[in-house]
Amino acid sequence: MKSIEQIKTIKGIILISLLAIITSCSEEKVPGVYPPVADFAAQLDGEDGFTYHFINASANGVSYSWDFGDGATSSDESPAHTYSVTGTYSVTLTVISIDDNEDVMTKGITIESPGGVPTAPSIIAGGSMDDDQLWTVLPNGEESRAIDYEFTSSGTLFFSGQATEAKSYQVVAYQPVELKANTEYLLLTDIKGGNFNNAWFTIIIGPEEPKAGEGYAPACPSTVYGIDKNSSKVIGLNFWKGCGEEPFEGDIRDVACDGIAQDPDPNDPNDPSTGGRIMVDSAGTYYFAMQVGNWNGSMGSGVTIDNVFLAEVIE
């Protein structure tokens, strides 16, 4: 005969077993009782402007199928996708439940071009100017101590300085870029400053790497569109050519007065300016360089650079 304590122990074990069975049954989703509900959010990566992160907010799904609208797909639950061209895309998520029922949701997302034309992603590394490791900065005039530069905590590159002698003071910030032959690229750069006195800011794209202590004005060996063959100068502000003395702010194409890539004069049908478009006929490595300097003068309120963009035009 079992003791009272043994009987209590057996009852306890039976009770625990029953509770486990009940809990297991309650957690199991019975087919047809829990239909799938598709839902997701899309978040654009602000760093490159071409990558979206998709956050799956669906219910009762066991598998997922994504169509990103550009021919690419994914079965990840919450994927990220990088688009290759600006434009508007329809993203579709299909959610499949445990009993193979489906629910579908489609949302539109947009990859905007900063210049208003379809482009590939920018080939400039660190164009947001928040990583000084992606740029090489060199003094390349007779003297450099009169020009200071700083990669600021707000994500800009700031140049400033006052000359102390009748010499050329220059600093260049640059990086290599790979350019295709006979392919249009769009150049955009946000720039702010003013009160130049015998000073300048120039963007140059040349086949030779800048060197410390030497002014950067290389000849370009190929026929180019948007680049002066003799100097590789693309665009800039120049005190002697009538800009920089007054305060300026905006896209460099709008405020520049030097270089072929500035915006054309709407009142001059023969103006050859390209509105930021450039092209080379020889593929290879070039150097994208931003050069700032003065001659026995002042950078005034300085020059602030941000959102440097150079991308292939897709039309």
Q: What is the pLDDT of residues 134-156, one digit of tens each?
A: 999 987 555 545 688 899 999 99
Residue whose entry in the numeric block shows the structure tokens 């219910």: 59
Determine the pLDDT at residue 266. Answer: 87
Q: Model's pTM, two decimal places?
A: 0.77
Burial class (CB in 10 A: 0-12, 13-18, 19+), 119: buried
User: 3-state class of 268 per DSSP?
Assistant: coil
According to CATH, the topology of domain 132-312 is Jelly Rolls (2.60.120)
Q: Assess whether pLDDT exceeds 80 at residue 109.
A: yes
Determine the pLDDT at residue 215. Answer: 67
Q: Assess whether pLDDT exceeds 80 at residue 32.
A: no
Dihedrals phi, psi of 74, to nearest 5 degrees? -160, 150
**All structural domains of the chain with their residue ranges:** 40-111, 132-312
More confident residue, 270 or 169: 270
CB atoms within 10 A of CB 13: 10
Closest CA to 215 of 174, 258, 175, 171: 171
Q: What is the mean pLDDT of residues 23-33?
A: 51
CB atoms within 10 A of CB 258: 22
User: 3-state class of 11 per DSSP?
Assistant: helix
CB atoms within 10 A of CB 80: 12
Q: Assess whether pLDDT exceeds 50 at residue 192.
A: yes
The DSSP call for residue 210 is -
What does the buried/exposed string (b/e) look like for 223-247 if buried means 16 or more CB atoms within 10 Å of the residue's CB? ebbbbbeebbbbbbbbbeeebbbee
CB atoms within 10 A of CB 136: 16
Question: What is the enclosing helix (H) or strand (E) of 111?
Answer: strand 102-111
Determine the pLDDT at residue 144. Answer: 47
Q: Assess whether pLDDT exceeds 60 at residue 22.
A: no
Q: How far apart are CA 214 and CA 24, in angstroms?
A: 77
What tokens were used for 312?
Answer: 């292939």
The DSSP call for residue 19 is H
What's the CATH number of domain 40-111, 1.25.40.10, 3.40.50.970, 2.60.40.10, 3.40.50.300?
2.60.40.10
